Amino acid sequence: MKILVTGGLGFIGSHTVVELLKENNEVIIVDNLYNSKIEVLEKLEKITGKKIKFYKYDLVNKEEIEKIFKENEIDSVIHFAGYKAVGESVKKPLMYYSNNLISTINLLETMNKYNVKKIVFSSSATVYGNPGVVKYTEELGRKDASSPYGTTKCMIEKILEDLYASDNSWNITILRYFNPVGAHESGLIGEEPNGIPNNLMPYVMKVASGKLETLSIFGNDYPTPDGTGIRDYIHVVDLAKGHVKALEKIKEGLNYYNLGSGKGISVLELVNTFEKINNVKVNYKIVGRREGDLAEYYADATKALNELNWKTEKTLEDICKDSWNYEKNNK
């Protein structure tokens, strides 16, 4: 299959490219390098031993997208490209709506024109809002997301639903990720957040490597066994494999899948495992809760198991080991 991967030099996209090439797919990457570096392309070629076709184009520019479809016989698209920082989206909502929505609409219109009607879209558990349960099933449906970033995910899901309702020859798979973490075991590719990280795992790595002094744990008074927040952390390589399965098993119609491990891990559990497995110290202090955080949630990933034959294989130990390996390699 010839697959166009938008945002393919980013964190999740790059790992997915590796898994797609492993399964002998042909991959074309488009990325405007807003949140990634061109060196990732060389690293992908090093890991896979294959040459990869790359377009440094912006999906907001429709003519650029069109060129890709004109020059290549594309079978399907995995759409990762977009802005993803929750806090930044609160400060710059228009920037988020404009980039995430316009790029998606341009992409879908061009796909339609070239009769490419198979797409896998990166959504997020954030679309469930605050559903009042801790184990999220796909049936819960969307609630108001807590940030403009999350709202772009809800809106794009809705756009895809309307598109499908208008033309059911489309094949649409919406993947709702839980908390993607970890790095490729080669240590060559991983997550590279700009500036001071907001998410837990990147922050833990910066503290462990001495680049930041202390991790603030946001609250230890939640109704959880150790009082700290519980999330479903998923190794990015497992997540990447979920995309390959989704493409292989893509069914007719519009389908939604949670991609998570199905297991909740607390902040303290993650920090303690990171210290133990890597034999490093992570200085931390307990501070107040972060506004907007939920106490606990994790995926019910049964549907992905039953229909895609996919489940996570990597453990929390693997996540901590691979993250640290990447951080050490990229000091």
Q: Which residues are part of the catalytic machinery?
A: 149
| 8, 10, 182, 229: residue in contact with ligand UD1 (rule CB under 6 A) | 229
Closest CA to 60 of 41, 36, 32, 39: 32
Tokens of 65: 């997208």
Strands 26-30 and 76-79: unpaired
Name which of residues 68 to 97 contact ligand NAD (CB under 6 A).
80-84
Stretch that binds ligand UD1, among 69-77, 209-217, 256-264, 320-328 (CB under 6 A): 209-217
Instruction: Name which of 181 and 280 has its Cβ closer to ligand NAD.
Output: 181
- Please tell me whether residue 176 binds ligand UD1 under the rule CB under 6 A: no
Interacting residue with ligand NAD among 18, 19, 32, 173 (CB under 6 A) = 32
Stretch that binds ligand UD1, among 108-116, 133-141, 290-298, 309-317 (CB under 6 A): 290-298
Among 77, 188, 200, 280, binds ligand UD1 (CB under 6 A): 200
Quick one: which segment of 5-13, 218-226, 252-260, 285-293 binds ligand NAD (CB under 6 A)? 5-13
Q: 116 or 280: whose CB is closer to ligand NAD?
A: 116
| Contact of residue 13 among ligand UD1, ligand NAD, none (CB under 5-8 Å per partner type) | ligand NAD
State the alpha helices, DSSP H only, in 86-193.
Answer: 86-91, 93-97, 103-113, 148-166
Closer to ligand UD1 by Cβ: residue 107 or 145: 145
CA atoms within 13 Å, Cβ hemisphere of 78: 34
Q: Which of residues 76-115 bind ligand UD1 (CB under 6 A)?
A: 86
User: What is each CA distance from 10 to 15, 33, 38, 61, 165, in whole angstroms?
Assistant: 8, 8, 10, 19, 31
CA distance 11 to 156: 20
Residue 172 is a binding residue for ligand UD1 (CB under 6 A): no
Coil, helix or strand at residue 19? helix
Q: Which residues contact 214 (CB under 8 A, 6 or more apart)?
A: 207, 283, 284, 285
Chain positions 43 to 62 lying near ligand NAD, rule: CB under 6 A, are 58-60
210, burial (CB in 10 Å: exposed 0-12, middle 13-18, buried 19+): exposed
**Are 187 and 237 in contact, with CB atoms under 8 Å apart?**
no
Q: Which is nearer to ligand UD1, 253 or 288 (CB)?
A: 288
**Where along the sequence are the contacts to ligand UD1 (CB under 6 A)?**
86, 124, 126, 146, 150, 179, 198-200, 203, 215-218, 229, 231, 267, 290, 292-293
